[in-house]
Amino acid sequence: MDNHLFELQTSVTRETPRQLRHALEAVLKESALHASTAQHMLLCLSEYVTNLLLHAQPTPSQIRITFSRGAHGWLLDIFDNSRAWDPTENLNDDLLTEFSEIEQGRGIALLHAQSDKISYIPGCYVQGGRYVKGNKPNQLRLLWRYPKQNKQQTILIVEDNNSLRLLYKTYLTDTFNVVTAANGYQAIEQLKTEQIDLVLSDIKMPLMNGLSLRKKINQHSSCELIPFIFLTGEEDEIVQEQAAELGIDDYLIKPVNKPQLLKIIQRVIGRSTQVYQRLTERIDKRISASLKPRLPENSHGWRLQAASRNTGSGGGDLLLHKRFEGKTQLLLSDIMGHDDSAKFFSHAYGGYLHGLIQSMHTSCGPAQLLEQLSNCAMHDQLLSQVTLTCCSVQLSSGGNISVASAGHPAPLLISPQKITTLKTAGILPGLLADAHYKNTELTVNQGERIALYTDGLFESANSNETRIRLQTLITKALLDTLHIPIAQALQQVMKLFDEITGSQPSDDALLLLIEPIES
């Protein structure tokens, strides 16, 4: 039986997708759900509800969501009282094809790509070729399976004495996963097939002694960093010096009791983990610094100013550029994720995007660039592991701008009297083979600006009320600062952002302001 953790029903307005997302996000933060899974869940919810509002006939008047723990995983159920639309059917089905063409496949493909299983129960049925409303709402159920539980750390015991080998294993079995070897050759075979977290080895053994085993391990880059503890029956200074030269982490003099053995193993593993964490933090700081946007202040008749805020964890926002003869190419990307590996994926993806934009031909437009990116993301083993949004922009003189979007927030046109959202839409990169994107062309007049941003600019708050306030005040600030120099305007907007978020945003945020220069 499913364990319901959250339920919300609301009347439908234009704000419904955002309201439901924020409400669910607050619940997910308090659950044991992995951050990347929560991101996928929120993305599916936003896309599906948005598509219902834009394309369902008639537009639903009520939408209800529930979040539950099921027998096999986390469950998100979305109920609506509109015409039935089943995303579990074949993508070539006429109804789904029609839906796909409207959204360029984004809604359907995203649901399939970002969840583990989809089921659908229609609240309508077909009678004489017409849809007849039933007594129940349509129900979409999305499942995210529970991850496999992390196993205990694995200790490899290498000891030729059968009794001692069994004794040490008995000491450690309650705390660790234990594998054993009677000599160095058996130990090498275990290292090939097992994920070993620490080696506990006797020094004096037949066939291959402990010192030779350590030398052998040091020759393999995949094993050389494994913590290593020697066991010896005597305090031989020469042997101890030889062991130290081989980079062992500690050694024990036999006989060894259980508390002594557990204490030293836990200390060595803890020290190794601490070194790893410090190294990771140092690399993470370098990566974060490398992701900061760097742009020229003027390029091909445009002024450009950018600023970013970084949470220090997870994915990252990227802003890349290239100057051609007569035009400037910009690529703004938001790489999603909040776990330890996401920042490293951001760095790897940043290198790829940099190479892509630098190698692009002068005749390549924003949409073509995104098509190349999506194609690579679809088939590349590394890039396919990452979810990201992108906005591709080309600037030329006279205030001319061309924009294409891949699941990214739409740019804002800031005019003296109002702010207009530019109509740009496209599928996330890598979800469909041979994805196509469209360019949106416009001319920006003197006294107008364009704001390009990542969703953290409006989403970086800890409550729904704060988010609404953040969006309202940032939008107002973009309009109110239109009359002052662009660098000052950017500074004022980001200062307001810092005040509202308390200088601790919940998501990375990047804002790029651009405006045409008087000719």
Q: Of 253, 408, 396, nearest to 323 (Cα)?
A: 396
312-316, 432-436, 496-500 — most confident range: 496-500
Sheet bearing 412-414, strands edge to edge: 298-299, 302-309, 509-516, 449-453, 412-414, 419-421
pLDDT at position 148 is 61
In the predicted model, is pLDDT for residue 448 greater than 90?
yes
Of residues 231 and 130, the one with the higher pLDDT is 231
| pLDDT bracket for residue 91 (50, 70, 90) | very low
- Distance from CA of residue 262 to its chain's centroid? 37
Give the separation between CA 460 and CA 318, rounded to whole angstroms. 17
Strand, helix or coil for residue 129? coil
* Residues 466, 500 contacting (CB under 8 angstroms): yes
E-strand stretches of 56-116 = 62-69, 73-80
Longest CA–CA span in the chain (Å) reads 93
* Mean pLDDT calculated for residue range 479-508: 88
Q: How far is CA 427 from CA 11, 53, 99, 343, 391, in A?
A: 28, 18, 13, 23, 11
pLDDT at position 418 is 92
Q: How far is CA 135 from CA 9, 52, 138, 512, 516, in A?
A: 17, 19, 10, 49, 56
* Mean pLDDT calculated for residue range 464-493: 90
Tokens of 482: 């239109």
Lowest mean pLDDT among 77-91, 95-109, 294-308: 95-109
* Residues 447, 428 contacting (CB under 8 angstroms): no
SS3 per-residue string spanning 219-243: CCCCCCCCCEEEEECCCCHHHHHHH
Give the separation between CA 124 and CA 104, rounded to whole angstroms. 25
Tokens of 227: 């913590």
pLDDT at position 104 is 38
Q: What is the DSSP pairing of strand 302-309 with strand 509-516?
A: antiparallel
Give the separation between CA 489 and CA 145, rounded to whole angstroms. 46
| pLDDT bracket for residue 385 (50, 70, 90) | low
Q: 138-147 burial string, b = 16+ CB within 10 Å, else e?
A: bbbbbebebe
In the predicted model, is pLDDT for residue 65 greater than 80?
yes
In the predicted model, is pLDDT for residue 98 greater than 50?
no
Give the separation between CA 55 and CA 474, rounded to whole angstroms. 30
Strand, helix or coil for residue 476? helix
Which residues, in sequence order, are CB contacts of 111 under 8 Å at separation 6+? 44, 47, 48, 87, 118, 142
Q: Which burial class, exposed, middle or buried, applies to 294 when counting CB atoms under 10 A from its CB (0-12, 13-18, 19+)?
A: exposed
In the predicted model, is pLDDT for residue 53 greater than 60?
yes
Q: What is the DSSP pairing of strand 154-158 with strand 198-202?
A: parallel
Give the separation between CA 413 and CA 404, rounded to whole angstroms. 15
Q: Of 254, 86, 88, nearest to 159 (Cα)?
A: 254
Tokens of 280: 């990771």
In the predicted model, is pLDDT for residue 93 greater than 50?
no
Task: State the first-to-last Cα distance of the chain, in angstroms, to the nearest integer.
Answer: 69
Q: Taking the CA atoms of 311, 312, 318 and 321 in sequence, report the sign of the dihedral they define.
A: positive
Tokens of 99: 């839906």
- Could you check whether the bond before residue 206 is cis, i.e. omega within 30 degrees of 0? no
Which residue type is seen at 382?
L
* Residues 53, 78 contacting (CB under 8 angstroms): no
Of residues 397 and 431, the one with the higher pLDDT is 397
Q: Helical H runs in 194-341?
A: 210-218, 237-245, 258-290
pLDDT at position 431 is 72
Domains of the chain: 3-145 (3.30.565.10), 154-284 (3.40.50.2300), 291-516 (3.60.40.10)
Tell whether pTM > 0.75. Answer: no
Of residues 429 and 33, the one with the higher pLDDT is 429
90-99, 119-128, 448-457 — most confident range: 448-457
In the predicted model, is pLDDT for residue 330 greater than 50?
yes
Give the separation between CA 211 and CA 137, rounded to whole angstroms. 70
